[in-house]
Amino acid sequence: MTLKKNNSIILGLISYEILEDHLHVHLVESSPENIGKNKKYIGIGSNLFAYACWISKNNGFEGNISFFSKTRLIKHYQLTLGAINLGKGKMIIHEYQSEFLINKYFSDEAK
């Protein structure tokens, strides 16, 4: 993810894999200046997850995604993304929450 006005500034990265029936996110990372209390931009991680939902939807998976979370971030993902904890760190975002994230982070032209 880069700034729209300057695509040489990287805000965050995502690694994902398209599986047989959904999209699996391997990694989401914000750039160092966008982590912690004094971050320059907010919502980088959520925006990247919304992008994964959008990719999933456009590949016929209704926006369903899965990912593994570090234990300390499970509650955060539940609150900020509406993710569901399946146990042992595996989390999913279903189509209804996926649609909410896509609508929150993408303009109508981007959809």
CB proximity list for 17: less than 8 A, separation 6 or greater: 23, 24, 26
CB 93 within 8 A of CB 65: yes
Q: Which two tokens stand for residue 102?
A: 């896509």
Q: Which domain holds residue 56?
A: 12-105
Q: What DSSP state is assigned to residue 61? A: S
CATH of the domain at 32: 3.40.630
pLDDT tens digit sequence for 59-111: 999 999 999 998 899 999 999 999 999 999 999 999 999 999 999 998 765 55
pLDDT tens column, 3-52: 889 999 999 999 999 999 999 999 999 998 888 888 898 899 999 999 99
Q: Number of structural domains, the chain?
A: 1
Q: Cα 22 to chain center, whole Å?
A: 14
Q: Which amino acid is at 74?
A: I
